[in-house]
Amino acid sequence: MHHLLTGKQIILGVTGSIAAVKAPMIARELMRAGATVTTALTGSAQRFATPLAFSALTHEEVITSVLPREGSKKDSGTWHIRLGRSASAMLIAPCSATTIGKLRAGIYDNPVTLLASALPRETPLVLAPAMDEEMWLQPMVQENLEVLRRSGVYVIDPTSGLLASGLIGQGRMLEPEALVIRFQQILERASEHLPLFGKTVLITGGPTFEAIDPVRFIGNRSSGKMAAALAEVAERLGANVVLIMGPSPIRTNGNKRRIDIETADEMMAAVFNEIEDADIIIMNAAVSDFSAAHESKTKLKKRDISDENGKLKIELQNTPDILREIAKIKRPDQRVIGFALETGNSAESYAESKLLEKDLDMIVLNRADEIGAGFGVDTNKVTIFQRAGTKIELPLMSKEDSAREIFASIMRLP
């Protein structure tokens, strides 16, 4: 149970209730379960627990205002969208009666409710109400919670116990350790409703490097960013993810299984090892098309490979076309998606012919000659072609958003 939050980014929202004094311990429990914790506090929460306590414990951002953060040029007005999108889930603990009312009514006037409003639909929002029994039993509070529950919000009900008023009754938030265990159970259950729950997605990414000799190789400029974005989105949609990655500096986290390889041959072997269990196979890797026909075990000397005119000769051979090999063995229930990196006027027709030649269900065309698309950058501009003839042309967007659109198309495949 304790590893369920490994690599997950959790937003902890803290609102004005005496139980906020326990919130730093909730942050600590979340971290013990493997999470990275970003905290947001309302103004009244800050009277009970200081932002400093959270930043000292979590070493992450602590948000105390809805206003753009000073000095942050990157996303000054849209920090809540960025954080909301990168979160695996949000826990509001303690959640005051006022916050419950604001969430129900859509009043996003503090950092906690604003972040809750910016969570993508599939990202779980969990509330842990804490208040005196009189307040807890108010019909309005109960009705607000009912409406929130119906719209997909999860609630960790308070228990009975000694309350801040000195009275004994219902309204006491669970202790941090029990609360975080309950939170993890909710996330586990929520994942079963995700669209790719129980599916295995196999993704290849990055370049491949083909050695010429111990120091030189043939490769390409693929960064692995698009594959990392695809893997991230697949995991958020509930899939088991296997990422087979060529040499790439990009780090990935979460529960993805990552297999690092170097050459096209190694990538093919890894794909074939994993293919049996895969429901969806996405060949995003920029597999090197050539390798040296004879890899030299010692460093080649220029004089040994140049002729009298100063021309160098290294014999090359084709690497295996992994997608073509996949097409030969794939089962009818498996969906295979390819990528095509093309330039010039015939880009679309090249992509469409690869779709047919490699017997794919879908191909994603990347234009290498458009600004902001292709290798190394954070954005992409893709056109999706499905076997059934559907064509979807997407505008320039972040690689993560492109990945979301690509999965939306995959989920619409027959």
**Sign of the alpha-carbon dihedral angle for 129, 131, 136, 141:** negative
Q: Is 218 helix (H, G, I), strand (E, B) or coil?
A: strand
**Of the candidates 319, 379, 402, 409, which one interacts with ligand CTP according to CB under 6 A?**
319
Cβ proximity to ligand CTP, 177 vs 370, nearer residue:
370
Query: For residues 141 and 106, is the Cβ–Cβ distance under 8 A?
Result: no
* Per CB under 6 A, 322 contacts ligand CTP: yes
User: What is the Cα 24 distance to its own chain's centre?
Assistant: 26
Q: Which of the following is catalytic: 220, 253, 273, 284?
A: 220
Stretch that binds ligand CTP, among 52-60, 139-147, 248-256, 335-343 (CB under 6 A): 335-343
DSSP-derived letter for residue 97 is H
**Of the candidates 218, 280, 323, 410, which one interacts with ligand CTP according to CB under 6 A?**
323
What are the tokens at 152?
């997909």
**Sign of the alpha-carbon dihedral angle for 343, 344, 348, 351:** negative
DSSP result, 15-38: -SSGGGGGHHHHHHHHHHTT-EEE
Amino acid sitting at position 112: V
* Per CB under 6 A, 354 contacts ligand CTP: yes
* Per CB under 6 A, 348 contacts ligand CTP: no
Least Å from the CB of residue 336 to ligand CTP? 9
At residue 172, φ and ψ (nearest 5 deg) are -85, 125
Judged by CB under 6 A, how many residues of this single chain contact ligand CTP? 15
Amino acid sitting at position 241: V
Distance CA 62, CA 51 (A): 6
At residue 74, φ and ψ (nearest 5 deg) are -60, -50
Q: Is 220 a catalytic residue?
A: yes
* Per CB under 6 A, 19 contacts ligand CTP: no
Distance CA 159, CA 172 (A): 5
Least Å from the CB of residue 224 to ligand CTP? 13
Site string for ligand CTP, 238-277 (x = CB under 6 A): --------------------------x-------------
Q: How far apart are the first and last CA of the chain?
A: 36
Least Å from the CB of residue 72 to ligand CTP? 37
Cβ proximity to ligand CTP, 230 vs 340, nearer residue:
340
Among the listed residues 143, 127, 134, 141, the one whose alpha carbon sits nearest the alpha carbon of residue 164: 134
Stretch that binds ligand CTP, among 253-261, 337-345, 377-385, 402-410 (CB under 6 A): 337-345
Least Å from the CB of residue 154 to ligand CTP? 39
Stretch that binds ligand CTP, among 8-16, 209-217, 218-226, 332-340 (CB under 6 A): 332-340
403-408-414 Cα angle (round to 5): 130
* Per CB under 6 A, 340 contacts ligand CTP: yes
Cβ proximity to ligand CTP, 174 vs 322, nearer residue:
322
Cβ proximity to ligand CTP, 163 vs 271, nearer residue:
271
Q: Which of residues 272-301 bind ligand CTP (CB under 6 A)?
A: 283, 285, 287, 289
Query: For residues 88 and 10, is the Cβ–Cβ distance under 8 A?
Result: yes
CA atoms within 13 A of residue 335's CA, in its CB half-sphere: 19
* Per CB under 6 A, 321 contacts ligand CTP: yes
Q: Site residues (CB under 6 A) for ligand CTP? A: 264, 283, 285, 287, 289, 319-323, 338-341, 354
List residues with catalytic annotation: 220
